[in-house]
Structure 1
Amino acid sequence: MTSDARRALVVRGGWEGHEPVKITELFLPFLREHGYDLRISDSLDVYGDAELLAATDLVVQCWTMGEITREQSAGLVAAVRAGTGLAGWHGGIVDSFRGDVGYHLLTGGQFLMHPHGFSDHTVTLAGKHADHPVIAGLTDFRVHTEKYWMVTDPLIDVLATTEFEADADRSRPVTMPAVWTRSWGAGRVFVSAIGHKPDDFDVPEVRALTERGLLWASR
């Protein structure tokens, strides 16, 4: 690998139900093909290594739930603010470190619940962002997976949404962000709520927007 290769750090762990190893492995060949020198960590201690993060162009995180120390969280936030990109999907990025508000501010959203089981539902792309590199040329698509209910930051750029119908708990339908990007200082953050199971990425649009999101977020 040449010395000017871009560097990606894949941080994976937490709850095994989201298969962090199996799913992140889906994207390692793609990153290598796009010139990234990869480092993989099964420990959050890397977020405390300021020198390593400063030399990292992209952090791909797949770490559901778990605990992060104040120093680790501050290290990740500072690195993104300085220009390191952060990207992830589903619970690996928006159901992480539930007690850390600084982390939630960084990602721009936090998972609260999902209806029981998997459902067939439509992911609707945001027309006003149709030319965004993450979704350009794609169309609305269907998935059979979990649908996330989240709280989100009004400063995110929502690229795709899902619909929650009115029910016993919700008096009216709600349009929920499903894919978004945001800037954080000099860094970029990409989030997709889709990706509970490996075959979610068999949907061509899911695979495409996730891969594009990784590249978009990178320094």
Structure 2
Amino acid sequence: MGACKTMTNPSRRALVVRGGWEGHSPVEITDLFLPFLKDAGFTVDTSDTLDVYTDAERLAATDLVVQCWTMGEVTPGQSAGLIATVRAGTGFAGWHGGVVDSFRGDLDYQRLTGGQFLMHPEGYHDHRVHIVPGHELVAGIEDFDVHTEQYWVATDPAIEVHATTVFPAGEEHGREVVMPAVWSRRYGAGRVFVNTIGHKPDDFDVPEARVLTERGLLWASR
């Protein structure tokens, strides 16, 4: 049975769903954002089971779902519950493999997120994140550097891209490739935010990466 605990009791409700592959430190890395959400006025619940996505009444009362669940499998009922909830207006947000390397066999889930992880070059390396101006999420943020995994993703052309990274020409691709790194989308009445940065907790020691994610959580919320 999955554990669930309430962190505080203000007006809005956030549900943090975390689990899957432990290499992405789902508990440690989501714990970084719990105080921020609480300070922003959310009651914060956590769940370590995907069965929470079948609790329609609970999800309907939730303003924001934050997911950090890498790989794993989602049942048709769990997937349908999450998707219906977002379509009805609950926000959905996450970072890195916890949101775009989840439930690889579920195409409906991939339509929700607007992107799917395909590969990353081996190990960590320095690369630059280029801001795409014009949205409130990136206001005042300039290009910044990170030392972490760089995700190659397949994305929906309907997403709104807020930051990109560049893959230099290589054997598999004969030209430089600009890759979405941070994006958002509308999904029915709901909002979805994705940041591909966040393989390890210290990725969020980079102020711009942290601020982008915090803004994304608030923007996605109902």
Q: TM bucket by the smaller chain?
A: over 0.9
Taking only aligned residues, the RMSD between alpha carbons, in angstroms, comes to: 0.8
Moved over 2 A (4+): none
1:17 aligns with 2:20: no
How much has 1:18 moved relative to structure 2? 0.2
Residue of 56, 79, 90 corresponding to 1:84: 90
1:122 aligns with 2:125: no
- Kept after mapping to 2: 8 A contact 1:133/1:216: no
Separation in 2, partners of 1:26, 1:39: 14
Note the alpha carbon deviations across 1:73-115, whole angstroms, 9 max, x for none: 0000000000000000000000000000000000000000000
Note the alpha carbon deviations across 1:40-83, whole angstroms, 9 max, x for none: 00000000011011000000000000000000000000000000
Separation in 2, partners of 1:99, 1:198: 27
TM-score (norm 2): 0.95
Aligned pair count reads 215
Could you say what secondary structure the match of 2:142 adopts? coil
Separation in 2, partners of 1:97, 1:173: 29
In structure 2, the residue matched to 1:135 is 138
- Kept after mapping to 2: 8 A contact 1:187/1:217: yes
Matches within 5 A, 1:14-163: 14-127=20-133, 129=134, 132-163=135-166
Note the alpha carbon deviations across 1:98-135, whole angstroms, 9 max, x for none: 000000000000000000000100000013x2xx2211
Note the alpha carbon deviations across 1:140-161, whole angstroms, 9 max, x for none: 0000000000100000000000
In structure 2, the residue matched to 1:177 is 180
1:208 aligns with 2:211: yes
Residue of 4, 12, 15 corresponding to 1:6: 12
How much has 1:170 moved relative to structure 2? 1.1
Structure 2: unaligned runs, 5 residues or longer: 1-7
Aligned AA (2:153): M
Separation in 2, partners of 1:133, 1:94: 23
In structure 1, the residue matched to 2:168 is 165
How much has 1:169 moved relative to structure 2? 1.3
How much has 1:24 moved relative to structure 2? 0.2
- Kept after mapping to 2: 8 A contact 1:64/1:93: yes
Separation in 1, partners of 2:79, 2:15: 16
Separation in 2, partners of 1:68, 1:126: 33
Residue identity over aligned pairs, in percent, reads 69
